[in-house]
Amino acid sequence: MAEHFLGLISGTSADGIDAAVVCFEPGFKLIAAQTFPYDPDLRHRLLALMQADRINVDEFGAIDVEVGMAFGDAANALLAIANLHPSTIRAIGSHGQTIRHRPQHRFPFTLQIGDPNRIAEATGICTVADFRRRDMAAGGQGAPLVCGLHAALFACESPRAILNLGGIANLTLLAKDQPVRGFDTGPANCLLDAWAQEHLGVVHDEGGAFAASGTIIEPLLDRLLADSYFAQPAPKSTGREMFNLRWLLPKLRGTDRPADVQATLLALTASSIALALSREQPDTTEVVVCGGGVHNRALLAHTKTAVDRHFGRSIRFSNSSEHGLDPDFVEAAAFAWLARRALCREAGNCAEVTGASGPRVLGGVY
């Protein structure tokens, strides 16, 4: 039986579709990976949909298909680049694009679009999708789901934390003979991206240069950190529906310089991670970092400084590439891993992480 799986995800940043082919037998290996940017018009409509209070059902039905087709195209393009025949892929695991994530709703829900039927038709490959909702139906957050792969790849003798810097930041806490723990700490890049877009007209603050040009506004940082999300115990997960400009703007004063606000937003990401990590796993010896935020040098430096300050000692920071996995494709690899778990009828969630009432096989098969 071929043991190649293909993972597809576009995260909260909606910066593009990450695609990765992974081999699991013998041993884990990333065979090929690439990010395929969304068509700018499609991305624009997706960002509008994420912020919309009301939706047009016709538009919603169509964009679900459009995203599914874009995911199918991404899978086919990666296979062509890697010179792999579709028949060598046992299954695709597609996360889709999150449009809304409401774990605290009276009827908790999470909504990922990108019709998996389209992916299956476009590629001719069995496709597994809709990974989050079974966990939610079992009382969980439906997130984060990357923790299982983090544990499979990065567990070691001493207590480790895996830090994913996407739109949102999430931590996986790995300690020997302990259940895997993990949660979203709050924003990683989503507010930085939004503020850079607003003031520089760019999709992200390259290398964190805009933030580095400003000075942290301490009273603003205190106001931002006072949000109850940061003190809330796990299980918890969040998204753009919470951490966006509508959340930020009322907390600003008219005189705040844009660069100083960016510096403060970067400090918010760094401080909220350091607070959560020192509270939840005070014996951490190493932080393994992944996600697009690894390319923001200023963010990484501030996060390391904040963590060292909260721990009162130097904590080793490493990049997931030092442990054998490209930081830009850890999440895509996780959905390849989740597809494999689904076909093997093995649980995909870590119940301790999501708060589900137990382990569950995740995903529907198309």
Ligand X SMILES: Nc1ncnc2c1ncn2[C@@H]1O[C@H](COP(=O)(O)OP(=O)(O)O)[C@@H](O)[C@H]1O
Stretch that binds Mg ion, among 10-18, 74-82, 178-186, 231-239 (CB under 5 A): 10-18
Q: Which does 97 bind (CB under 5 to 8 A by kind): ligand X, Mg ion, none?
A: none
The residue (of 11 and 142) whose beta carbon lies closer to ligand X is 11
Q: How far is the CB of 362 from ligand X (least distance, A)?
A: 18
Q: How far is the CB of 149 from Mg ion (least distance, A)?
A: 16
Stretch that binds Mg ion, among 8-16, 49-57, 73-81, 148-156 (CB under 5 A): 8-16
Residue numbers at the binding site for ligand X (CB under 6 A)? 11-13, 15, 166-167, 189, 192-193, 204-208, 291-293, 295-296, 331
The residue (of 93 and 235) whose beta carbon lies closer to Mg ion is 93
The residue (of 39 and 206) whose beta carbon lies closer to ligand X is 206
**What length does the chain have?**
366
Q: Does 15 bind Mg ion (CB under 5 A)?
A: yes
The residue (of 125 and 163) whose beta carbon lies closer to ligand X is 163
With CB under 5 A as the rule, give the number of residues binding Mg ion: 3
Binding residue for Mg ion, selected from 4, 6, 13, 19, defined by CB under 5 A: 13
The residue (of 213 and 285) whose beta carbon lies closer to ligand X is 213
Q: How far is the CB of 193 from Mg ion (least distance, A)?
A: 11
Q: Which residue has the tokens 């990976």?
A: 33
Q: Does 11 bind Mg ion (CB under 5 A)?
A: yes
